[in-house]
Amino acid sequence: MTAEVTHSLDKEFNPWLAAEARFHTAADTLGLDDGLRKVLRSPAREITVNIPVGMDDGRLEVFTGYRVQHSIARGPAKGGIRYAPDVTLDEVRALASWMTWKCAVVNIPFGGGKGGVICNPVYLSQGELERITRRYTAEIIEFIGPEVDVPAPDMNTNEQTMAWIMDTYSMHKRQTVTAVVTGKPVNLGGSRGRTEATGRGCLLVAQEALKLFGMKPAEARVVIQGFGNVGGMAARLMARTGFKIVSIIEYDGAVYNPAGLDIEALLLHRKATGSILDFAGGENIDREEAMFLECDILLPAAKENVLHSGNAHRVRAKILCEGANGPTTAQADEILAARNVFVIPDILANAGGVTVSYFEWVQDRQGFFWNEDLVNTRLEEIMVNSFQDVTGLAGRHKVHNRTAAYMLALDRVAFAIKLRGIYA
C-alpha cells in the first residue's frame, strides 16, 4: 500500500473528519450561516488529565484521560466513558459531537459529551481499574454533575465503573448523588430495561424500516456484526420477534445458517466455549464473507469504520441498521446511496441506549422508579416517532436518511442557541 493511499485511508477513518463532513452536508441543506456553524461545530470544553495510579506491583503509572463536552445548549452534556489503548482526542471529540446530534434526534434534553482513558483493561486488575476510575473522576469532578455532564458506560466500562464514579463523586459532595451517572446497577439507582435498551432500539427502527419495504419480520434475513451488549441483545430480541438471524460475526470469525440461527443456543455455546465458532447449529465462515452476505438487514454493532470506500460496494443488504457508533465512513455513504441501501444512521438506530439513560436520570432526580414495561413503552414511542421524523424529513427534502437525521439535530440545537442568544 502506497503512502498516499495510507494517508487517504487515515483521513477517511478519522472520526472527527467524518463527523465534520456530515455536519457540513446537513448545514448546507439547511442554509445555516457561517457564524452559527462555528458555534454548532465547536466543542464547548475539552479536558485532558494525567492520572497517576499506584499499580499492583508497586510501580507508579500515569494514564491520560479525556472528557469532551461538545454542547450544553439543550441540557447537560451526556455520553459514555471508554477505556481502550487506542483512545484519541479526535475520537472522543467526534463521539461527543455524535452524542449532541443523537440526543437532539430523539429530542431528549441533553447535549453531547464523551470521555476516555488510554489504557488496556485486559492487562489491568480490578483494583487497578478502580483506582484509575476514581482518580479520573476526581480530576474531572468540577466538570461533571447531574446539571452539568452525566457520564455513562461505553467500550470496556460497565455498571461497576459507573458505581465507582458515583461513589467518588458522592464522597466529594458529602451526599449520595445517584444522578451523576447513568448505566448504574439497578440497586444503586439504575433503570430497568437499560441493558437491553440499545439493542431494543435497533429492533424498533428495523421494524419500522421493514414496514416501508412491505415486509414482515419473519421474511427478513439479518446479519449482525458483534455479539456483545448491543449486537447480542439485538440478536436475541429480533429472534424473539421472528426475524431470521442468518449470521453472527465476531472478532475471531462468523457462524452462518441460512435457515436462521438459534440465538439462545448460540449465547449458551459462547458462554461455555468463549467463542461463537464451532456452533452445532451453524457453519463457520469467514468474517469478511459474512459481512457481505445477501440479506435484508445488515446490523454492524461493533466498532467504527467497518464499511468504507474499499468495501461498501460489496454490501448486499436492503437495510443498513447502524448499531455501533460510526460504522460507516462518509465516503462509504455515497457508495451505499448509489446502491439504494436504506440506511438507518447511528444517531437514530442506536439512540435507544441514551434514551433509557435519560429515563434513568429522570427517575434518579424524582426518586421514583418505573417498571420495565413502562420503560419499554416510552422507549418505543420515542424511537418510532424519531424514525418517522427522520424519514419524513428525508422525503420532504429528497435527501438520504443520514443527512435528514443531521438536519433534524442541527435544526433543534440551532433553534435552542438562537432562543438563548449568545452571552457576552
CATH 3.40.50.10860 domain range(s) in the chain = 42-185
Joined grid coordinates for residue 192: 430497568
Cα separation, 13 vs 71, in Å, equals: 23
Q: Domain 195-349 - what CATH class?
A: alpha beta
Number of helices (H), then strands (E), in the chain: 15, 12
pLDDT of 278 over the 80 cut: yes
* Residue 7 confidence (pLDDT): 53
How would residue 11 be classed by pLDDT, with cut points 50, 70 and 90?
A: confident
How would residue 3 be classed by pLDDT, with cut points 50, 70 and 90?
A: low
Task: Please compute Rg for the chain using Cα positions.
Answer: 21
pLDDT, tens digit (0-9, with 9 covering 90-100), for 386-424: 999 999 999 999 999 999 999 999 999 999 999 999 987
**Mean predicted lDDT score pLDDT of the chain:** 95
Q: Which residue among 78, 114, 184, 318 is the active-site one? A: 114
- Average pLDDT value for residue range 310-332: 95
Q: Give me the helices (H) in 276-345, please.
A: 287-291, 330-338
pLDDT, tens digit (0-9, with 9 covering 90-100), for 225-266: 999 989 999 999 999 999 999 999 999 999 999 999 999 999
Sheet holding 60-71, edge to edge: 45-54, 60-71, 111-118, 77-84, 149-153
CATH 3.40.50.720 domain range(s) in the chain = 195-349
- Average pLDDT value for residue range 13-42: 90
Range of weakest confidence among 15-24, 31-40, 335-344: 15-24
What is the β-pairing status of strands 111-118 and 60-71?
Answer: antiparallel
Torsion of CA 247, 251, 253, 259, to 10 degrees: -10
Quick check: helix, strand or coil at residue 223? strand
pLDDT, tens digit (0-9, with 9 covering 90-100), for 76-128: 999 999 999 999 999 899 899 999 999 999 999 999 999 999 999 999 999 99
Q: CB burial class (10 A; 0-12, 13-18, 19+) of residue 148?
A: middle
How would residue 303 be classed by pLDDT, with cut points 50, 70 and 90?
A: confident
* Residue 19 confidence (pLDDT): 81
What pTM did the predictor assign?
A: 0.93
In three state form, how does the secondary structure of 90-155 look? HHHHHHHHHHHHHHHHCCCCCEEEEEEEECCHHHCCHHHHHHHHHHHHHHHHHHCECCCEEEEECC
**Higher confidence at residue 296 or residue 95?**
296
Active site residue 418: no
Greatest alpha-carbon span in the chain: 66
In CATH, 42-185 is 3.40.50.10860: yes
